[in-house]
Amino acid sequence: MNINFNIAPKSNFITYYLKKIMEKEYKKLFMNMEEVNPSSKLFEKIMLRISREEKLVIVKKRIAVFSVFLAISLGGFVYSFITVQNAFVSSGFTQFFSLIFSDFNIVIAYWQNFLFTLLESLPVFAMIISLVMFSIVLGFLTFLMKDMKFINSNNILRKKYGY
């Protein structure tokens, strides 16, 4: 369509109408502009990324909670460890055990009595509590390490893509 704008009468209605035609033409032109197709897996990548971010939120909350529990259980473990240490000393186990080094031959000669002495003076309940506390600390630590590993891998990906 060849219209010389300078010759045509200049009324608002005509100008508006001509501009609309022009817009239609450009619209028709841009319809020929091809869409660039992304890789076939972009959609999956996006959804995967969103689900990873969702998991990140959960993991961060979990880390906060587990850290508190870890601190408490660590305190409990330290206390139980000190209790075990005291229990070993007060029961005489440490003193009995030291006889292996000072009187090895006699201890071997009366090994059954020595063994019974050791077993009877073993502070079993204090040890059990200490080991339970240690297992709890280890458990929380393991969960925390796993979550930290996930966050670390996420950070590496963020750095790689410059975000």
Instruction: Give the residues lining the site for another protein (CB under 8 A).
Output: 1-3, 5-6, 21-22, 25-30, 32-39, 42-43, 45-47, 49-50, 53-54, 86, 89-92, 95-96, 98-99, 102-103, 106-107, 109-110, 113-114, 116-117, 119-121, 161-163
Nearest CA-CA partner of 3 in 28, 30, 27, 20: 20
Least Å distance, CB 148 to another protein, is: 21
HSE value, Cβ hemisphere, 13 Å, CA-based, for 144: 15
Tokens of 84: 């075990």
Tokens of 89: 């000393």
Least Å distance, CB 66 to another protein, is: 23
For another protein, the closer of residues 71 and 111 by Cβ is 111
> In degrees, to the nearest 5, what angle opens at C-alpha 55 toward C-alphas 63 and 64?
15
Least Å distance, CB 141 to another protein, is: 23
For another protein, the closer of residues 66 and 123 by Cβ is 123
For another protein, the closer of residues 96 and 143 by Cβ is 96
Helix (H) or strand (E) holding 54: helix 42-91
For another protein, the closer of residues 67 and 103 by Cβ is 103
Q: Is 106 exposed, middle or buried (0-12, 13-18, 19+ CB in 10 A)?
A: exposed
Least Å distance, CB 13 to another protein, is: 17
Report the residue count for the chain: 163
For another protein, the closer of residues 51 and 142 by Cβ is 51
HSE value, Cβ hemisphere, 13 Å, CA-based, for 79: 8
Tokens of 102: 């000072």
Least Å distance, CB 130 to another protein, is: 17
